Structure 1
């Protein structure tokens, strides 16, 4: 799908870009998601590292020793003093060592527990990164829609003002209105031109921001196509259920829980340093000695040794106990962080829910205001045309209509933003799928 979107941009030059397409591009190209993916890969390797502590360690070592001067001994014999040399000029030694942990007082298990918790933490971090990028892309897309809508509102206001100027000009030629009315209509048209320029500039800036978020070059032409989102998969009728959903699955809160698990594993690992450990040890050696490099079968001497190694810490000052206490403090800090985050989650969800309710009511109210303002502008223009109204009434009606249209656009934009904020507060995104078990 991503390749198809990119191909459309290249082949067509400027193709309509939907909200779904913008989010998909952002998810595929954002650096934060790549960093989170690499964290997941590192976590998998840490689990392998934890298992390595429980598996046998096998090493092979080979040595070659050249004796340039052998030790000599002198003995008195009936035949006189005789000198004997000990050893050979060349010695080749091969050693095979095997070490297997039999009992580690929980150190291996603690390491695996910490590694698994870290893997789950990185998976939640990857999900959180995807949700944040999707939200950022949607907000950038909505900013473009807002800018486009304001450009359209400005264009409609300018068109309406020019139509009013044409009407006043015709009436002035007929001698039915004064020069003052013509001047006011002209000023209205002139005053709206800067607004049109400002709106066009805002649209250009919003497009640049969107391109930056979705990873499209600034020179690439895109045409966003869509409307402000006004729906969400969340149940907006039950804010308490939304709070429960957030407490049960918001990625950053899940991460905080796994942080506590990692701290508990650290305590277990540190306590194991104060307890005995037992290893199985086996060593095999093969050695050959010769004054030349010609070795016969009986020149090789083999030896095998097996045993167990018991490591029993007796006293290390207060270092180990201090390290255990430090680990307990870190666990408590993590638990406090979870409690604090839960409070913030409850507040965030409630506040976001109120924002959605407010913006929905504002949209309904602004739609009613716009309808009334359009009718008022029509009546003012009609009354002025037949001589029963004034130019001031027409201009006031046009100003009210333009403001009502702008306020309606802003209300719809705020609703879309509020929905995104509520989904982030709960910990979901309609553009990011979550598998069973909480993994995306």
Structure 2
């Protein structure tokens, strides 16, 4: 009775010690969120927050706004241009004033021809040129009449660039949705793996206490006690690593959503669609023969689910945003070539210039009568005769830009086809992994419970218990990863028409079709 009482007190003491150890391990992450209540966050709410705070979407919208401004500039080339001028000028020295002054001095000195000299100095034309002050108010207007197609080509090129930029906004929004979805389920996975690591550490601690209890009554050796303690201690790095990964995953999610760095989050969506059903047990085997075709045959549930998902998403290459942008880049390059070739044609424009000029004796005119009209109308023609090969060089470069844009379009189409196939295969793999994980964790949990009972009753060894615990931990982790991969693969396939090409795809279309990389 006394030995049994001491054993119970020892067990209670070790339980209290273990609780204190677990509390110390969990104190660091719990202290961060102890100051405020966690914020409930669903995936739909996360996507809504990211849509209004994403830097990628803001950059894409700025590019579209810039393209709109360039399109307005291109349209202005065909519209009349009107400008006003206002000019006041004072001449410190004037050659015409000096000539008039000399003429006046010469006439007063000789006494002959004074009438002629005086009339020259007082001539209105002479006063205009000899005036010390000049005040000019004018309007200038011009209208292009023929540009050889250059202005029209520039307008079409600007319109195609704006349409490509608008596609870029859709692509950026889709990429943000995929990034947020991936980060959300990464955080859920990290949280689940941290929970699994906590559970594994608790199980190892419970095994150690069981060995300590049996050791105290002489039923276990020192070797078994040391091995149980080493097994428990080996779980600690995995526990700390899982908690670190969980914290980093939540930091990444908060950054994507522009949430405060210290705000705790409670993710309300589940990483899995629902509880995993336990598959029925295998039928009683009467033979050990294995049909390889039957064993390796794909699961029909996987094929049916993948076919349904693929049918609901447009996986064709020409529906991809990257391919549409590449097509717009081809159009931009073609219009740039047309505008470059137009440099060989004459440019015709009409101009008019209306002025009111005043030459006051003082600083400013005193009345409207001091202003004299000056109005001109004209036609201008510009035709390059010899440019030293400059125009020819520009045409050759523009032709190379068209070739570059067309080849990038082909690469984009090939990359889109490869990307669609990769997304389908990733979904198939994720569906197969998820179907394979159904029930495995429950069976591993049941196996561990049986192994723990066997170990407690002295039927099995500690090695068997440790192996069963590792299998349980691996089954739980595999199930969580399969659920995360399945959700991300489904989201990627749904957003596939709007997503940029993956880095593994061939070179996508360049945003500057006239240049090469």
Under a length normalisation based on structure 1, what TM-score does the superposition of the two structures give?
0.83
Partner of 2:340: 270
Partners in 1 of 2:150 and 2:269 — Cα distance?
Answer: 56
Q: Does 1:80 align with 2:112?
A: yes
- C-alpha distance 238-267 of structure 1, shift in aligned 2 (>3 A): farther
> Greater CA deviation, 280-289 or 340-349?
280-289
Q: Is 1:41 equivalent to 2:112 in the alignment? A: no
Q: Does 1:340 align with 2:411?
A: yes
2:263 alignment counterpart: 220
Give the aligned partner of residue 435 of structure 1. Answer: none
Written as runs of structure 1 = structure 2, the 5 A alignment for 1:9-408 is 13-66=37-90, 69=94, 70=97, 71-72=99-100, 73=103, 80-82=112-114, 83=117, 84-85=120-121, 86-88=126-128, 89=131, 90-165=133-208, 184-228=227-271, 236-237=306-307, 245-292=315-362, 295=366, 299-385=370-456, 388-408=459-479
Size of the aligned set, in residue pairs, is 417
Kindly state the Cα deviation for residue 169 of structure 1 after the two structures are TM-superposed. 5.8
CA RMSD of aligned residues (A): 3.3
Aligned equivalents of 1:409, 1:174: Cα separation in 2: 41
Larger Rg: 2
Shift of 1:367: 2.1
Match in the other structure for 2:7: none
User: Could you list the per-position Cα deviations for residues 313-345 of structure 1 after superposition, in whole angstroms to 9, with x for gaps in the alignment?
Assistant: 333332212211210111110110110121111
Aligned partners of 2:140 and 2:351 also within 8 Å = yes
Q: Which has the larger share of strand?
A: 1
Structure 2: state its 5+ residue gaps.
1-32, 275-304, 501-517
Relative distance call for 1:186 and 1:63 in structure 2 (3 A) is closer
Contact 2:309/2:490 (8 A) holds in 1: no
Displacement, 1:391?
A: 3.8
Q: Distance in 1 between matches of 2:273 and 2:400?
A: 46
Deviations 1:263-293 (A, max 9, x none): 1111111111111222122222323344355
Cα pair distance change 1:381/1:222, threshold 3 Å: closer
1:4 aligned residue: none
The TM-score normalised by the length of structure 2 is: 0.71
Extract unaligned runs of 5+ from structure 1: 1-8, 430-440
Query: Structure 1, residues 84-138: CA drift from partner, whole Å, max 9, x if none?
Result: 3122434433332211112211111111111111111211222222222222222
Q: Helix, strand or coil: the match of 1:100? A: strand
